[in-house]
Amino acid sequence: MEESTIKAKYIYYDDTIKTEDFSTFRKIADLFRFINKDLEYNYGDLVAFSKYRDTETYIIGKEDKLIKNPDYSNAGYLTIPYEITKYLDDALGKYSEIEIQYIDLKFDDKFIKENINTKSCKVLERWDWKFSYNYETQELYIDFPNDTKNVFKINKTSSNKILKWYNGSKLDQITFELSYETKKISNDNYEPKLPPTWDIEYNGISSNNLERIKKFILKGPTIDKDKVINSINRKLKNLEYELTEL
């Protein structure tokens, strides 16, 4: 394991080096030879060759290899990949002084232990869940072994809920479109409470002078179909709404 308490930093920033030169750098020593100067560095530190965000940023990994920012945002923002974080037990702590957007996390990272695990349910290595955290939106992206993936709001989930969702994803699924009408001035939340095995996705809004129509897509195990319909009926009983099976 590498030391997480040593904060990551940019040790070099220069956008005058030509792409054909820095693209040949494989290890940090290649940069030092090019600039004819050695710099102090630690595992996980960064070097940057572009003024535009982090489009040409590299992270120093094992054996001093330079690992290019994979940029999950596709917009030039910094992503710290699993190739780096698998050797850290507190990856977000390591990069707490760096502006990042995405960071991959291993199953027993401090963040997972403190924000996802519960006393009764701890994420296990053998589950083979792949975590990526979006620092800006505070969402956890998870790739599961059965080729499914989902996004979970940190403040609305836990290892128990995620495990229930994952097990539910293996069952026969059903999808609904829900639309309901409210007064335009209303700020009430009419989003129905769903089982943790179900997802709800915002699907647009339309309005006139007095009313607003919101649309959602709901998906989950068919076995919970009646439970979901009853929940919608209770929550929206005083509104005009339509529930359509897709």
Quote the pLDDT of residue 188.
Answer: 64
CATH of 173-245, one of 3.30.70, 3.40.50, 2.60.40, 3.30.479: 3.30.70
- Split at pLDDT 50, 70, 90, the class of 42 is very high
pLDDT at 206 over 90: no
Q: What is the pTM of this model?
A: 0.90
Contact status, residue 152 vs residue 130, Cβ threshold 8 Å: no
Cβ count within 10 A of residue 151: 14
**Where along the chain do its domains lie?**
10-168, 173-245
b (16+ CB within 10 A) / e for 231-241? bbeebbeeeeb
Region 14-30 average pLDDT = 95
Contact status, residue 175 vs residue 218, Cβ threshold 8 Å: yes
Predicted confidence (pLDDT) per residue in 80-124, tens digit: 999 999 999 999 999 999 999 999 999 999 999 999 999 999 999
Query: Above pLDDT 70, what percent of the chain?
Result: 96
Quote the pLDDT of residue 184.
Answer: 60
- Phi then psi for residue 180, to 5 deg, are -140, 155
